[in-house]
Amino acid sequence: MIRPRVRFAPSPTGYLHVGGARTALFNWLFARRHGGTFVLRIEDTDPERSSDEMVAGILESMRWLGLAWDEGPGVGGPHAPYFQSQRFGRHRELANQLVASGRAYKCYCSQELLQEKREAAERAGGGWKYDRTCLNLSAEDARRLEASGVQPAARFKVPEGKTSYDDRVRGHIEVDHGQIEDFVILRSNGLPIYHLSVVADDIDMGITHVIRGDDHISNTPKHILLWQALGKTPPEFAHVPLILGTDKKKLSKRHGITSVTEYERLGYLPDAMVNFLGLLGWSPGGDREVMSRDEMVASFSLDGISGGAAVFDPEKLDWFNGQYLAQLAPEPLVQCVKPLLQAAGLWDYEHDALPRHEWLQRVLQLVLPRVKRLPDFVDQARPFLAATVDYDPEAVRKYLGTADLDDHLETLIIAFEADTGPFDELSIERVLRGVA
C-alpha cells in the first residue's frame, strides 16, 4: 500500500462531537497503522455559524484525546492554509475552470423562482430537481441578465450514466445520475459550496483515503464526478456507521452529553475515551476490550469496521474509565485527583509534606474500587480528609447514641494502633472482625 494521506475535516459550528471524535480516531489509527499522514483541516465554509471559539475547542479536544495531527492548524505543512475559508480563491478558480471546460455552467435562476418550481412540483404530487433552465442560455441573454445586476451561480453539469465505487465498509455502491440534479458549486455571491471546496482541498492536499461518516454517502457520487471532471483519480472511500443512543436513535443532545469537552470536564481519562470510541463500530478480532493505543494501531483495519450502527453506552464508558483509573500508578493518580480535592476544600499545599502525601495515596487506593470518574474521588475520600463530617441526624441517634459507645471506640482505636499491616481494605476488615 502507498503511504496514505487521510484527513479529518470538522466544521467549527460547535464543540467536537463524540461521533466526529470517533471519525478522527479512525483516520488517525489508519494513518499510524500504515505509516501515513494525518491531516487536520477546518472546514469553516459557513461564516455565519463558524467561530474562533469553536475552532479552539475542537483543537483542544483533539489534543486532549492525544490525536496529534501531522499537518494542520498550529503545525503547518506543505499544503497550507488548512482553513477552508482561506482557500476560497482556489475554489473559485476551479469553479471557473469547470465552467470554461463545459463541465459546469452559469445559473441565473433566483431562489424565489427555484422555490416556486419546487412547490409547484410538490403540489402536483411529484419530486423536483433543477430543470436546467440556464444550461443553454444564450450569451446575449446572459449579458442582459448580468447588465441588470443579476449575479450568476455556477452549477455542475451532471452527465448521463452511473457512478459506482467500492466502499471499504459498505461494499459496492452504484448510483444512477438520473437521481442527481445539476448541483451548485459556486453561489451567486462568489462563495463556493461544500462539494467543490472539499474536493478541491482533497485534491490539493493529496488525500488518498476519505474515511467519514455514512451520512456523507449521498454526497460521494457528486464528489467522484467532480474529481473526474477535474482530471483526477478519486480517493478510496470508507463510510463508517453512525453512532446511536441506547434507544437506537441517532446520538444527539437529547441523549445527554455528546461533546468531548464535556466528557473531559466530567473526569473521564483520554485513554479510556479513545479505547471506548475505537471499539464503536470497529472490532480488532477476538474478545479484546481494554487496548492501549499501540495495540489499537497494530490491529486497526478498515475491514474490521462494521456496516451496522454502533450504540454509545454511557455505562460501558464508565466501565472503561474505571479500568484505566485502576491502571494508574499511585502518584499519577494523586496528581489527577489533587486539583479536585483542592477545589472542594479537602486539600491544600500545606498537606504536600511527605507523610500527608503518602496518606492521600493510600486513601485513593482504598476508595478506587468504588470510583468510575475522577470527581467520584471527592465524595469517596471526603470522610478521610475533611476536618468535620456531617452525619444524618437520624443515623446519629440510632447508632451513636448508645451508652457504651465510648468504650467501643476506645477498643477500636487500640486495635488499629496495634495493627502493623498496611492501611488497606483487607487490614481494616481484619481489625474490625477481630474486635467484633
d(CA 59, CA 56): 5
Q: Which position has the grid cell 449579458?
A: 143
DSSP state of 412: H
| DSSP states of 9-37 | ---SSSSPBHHHHHHHHHHHHHHHHTT-E
Please, are residues 346 and 367 in contact by the beta-carbon 8 Å criterion? no
Helix (H) or strand (E) run with residue 59 in it = helix 52-65
Cis bond leading into 81, ω under 30°?
Answer: yes
Start-end of H helices in 101-135: 111-123
| Residue 316, all three cell numbers | 460501558
Selecting among 106, 117, 253, 316, the annotated active-site residue is 253
Nearest to 225 by CA among 163, 155, 175, 153: 163
Half-sphere exposure of 322 (CA within 13 A, CB side): 13
Residue 253 appears among annotated catalytic residues: yes
Region of 426 on the Ramachandran plot (φ > 0 left; ψ -120 to 50 alpha; else beta): alpha
Coil vs helix vs strand at 112:
helix
Q: So which residues are the catalytic ones?
A: 253
